[in-house]
Structure 1
Amino acid sequence: MSDLIVIVYPTESKAEEVRQRLLELQKEYLIKLGDAVIATKTESGKIKLNQLMNTTATGAISGSFWGLLIGVLFLNPILGVAVGAASGAIGGALTDVGINDAFMKDLAASLHPGNGALFLLVQSITSDKVLKEIQGFGGHVLKTSLDETKEQTLRNALESASKAAEADAAQK
């Protein structure tokens, strides 16, 4: 079973920095992510999702391959590639893997313009090691599906970094 965690950062670049760090930790087998999406809200109020995987492009590539293969069998590979790419792109665009896009857009509507919300679908995690790695980035927990004790541990770790950053800013 996967857990959903949504953390808000002051900027999209800070959220991207955390996502990249989590992807590095995934290579070290400390966390397994099902999805990691950054949502931002523009000044005009439009919600933008920055996803790791583009399902339309993936579908087009896959469709092209299968279309070419079928086209070779029926002696018309060019037509097969074209039809395969088009059907794959349509299928990819209609496919929603990971976190539901409508859910992310609804939740991101509460963001302040310029903030970045990092949506994580966590399949497994070594909590103590991952928290130690990301607590320095700060952030504010917006929503989780964690139990209350795990959620509070996450909130405390992120708030300690936020308070330290505020103290540093006040000293300058």
Structure 2
Amino acid sequence: MTTFTAWKFDSIDGADRAADTLKQVRSEGLVKVEDHAVLTWPADADRPDVKYEHRDDARAAGWGAFWGVLFGALFFLPLIGAAAGAAISLLNKRMNNVGITREQLERIGKEVGPGNSALFVVTSDRDLDRMAERFRGHEATLIATNLVAAEAAELRQAFDA
């Protein structure tokens, strides 16, 4: 099953450090990373910086569109009043098919802001128990996932330890 997760870090470099761990976990064969993106938002910046990693050139355009729609609607459009609701509605229609709910999108938009960072990951074929061991010590908040409740609790526990 393909899984989307979004993690918020209270530091600018937290998501980069977790992405390095993710790359290590991937190289050990504990997870297949379809793609991931790191968002950093310096406290004095108007907008975040986003880095994508497209591992599969054949599907890079598809992932670029996915991340573009997600981040564009949440962080780069002028989200004021009715425009915010319209952007979230459009994004919800696109993301609903991959198991990302409107509530999760709204939470991502509210939680991620100046002074922090976030790691967005699309994975498949994972070993959650062994992955959790590698992520202990990364202080993060799971802000969105399409995992079932027991799997999400397992991931939260790994980052909270």
Q: Compare the two structures and name the one with the higher helix fraction.
A: 1
Deviation at 1:153, TM superposition (A): 1.6
1:101 to 68, 81, 89: 68
Q: State the TM-score, normalizing by the size of structure 1.
A: 0.63
Aligned to 2:49, the other structure's residue is in SS state: strand
Q: Does the CA-based 8 Å contact 1:131-1:157 persist in structure 2?
A: yes
Q: Does the CA-based 8 Å contact 2:39-2:119 persist in structure 1?
A: yes
**Higher relative contact order, chain-length normalized (CA < 8 Å, sep 6+):** 2
Runs of 4+ in 1 over 4 A off after TM superposition: none
Letter in 2 for 1:146: L
Aligned to 1:125, the other structure's residue is in SS state: coil
Q: State the TM-score, normalizing by the size of structure 2.
A: 0.66
Change in Cα spacing, 1:100 to 1:114, as seen in structure 2 (3 Å) is: same
- Deviation digits for residues 23-50 of structure 1, max 9, x if unmatched? 1111111111001101133434313211
Larger Rg: 1
Which residue number corresponds to residue 155 of structure 1? Answer: 156
- Distance in structure 2 (CA, Å) of the matches to 1:12 and 1:34: 24
Change in Cα spacing, 1:54 to 1:27, as seen in structure 2 (3 Å) is: closer
- How many equivalent pairs are there? 124
Deviation at 1:54, TM superposition (A): 9.6
Q: Does the CA-based 8 Å contact 2:8-2:143 persist in structure 1?
A: yes
- Distance in structure 2 (CA, Å) of the matches to 1:153 and 1:54: 27
Q: Does the CA-based 8 Å contact 2:139-2:160 persist in structure 1?
A: yes
Deviation at 1:130, TM superposition (A): 0.4
Deviation at 1:103, TM superposition (A): 1.4
Percent identity between the two aligned chains: 19
Q: Does the CA-based 8 Å contact 2:31-2:123 persist in structure 1?
A: yes
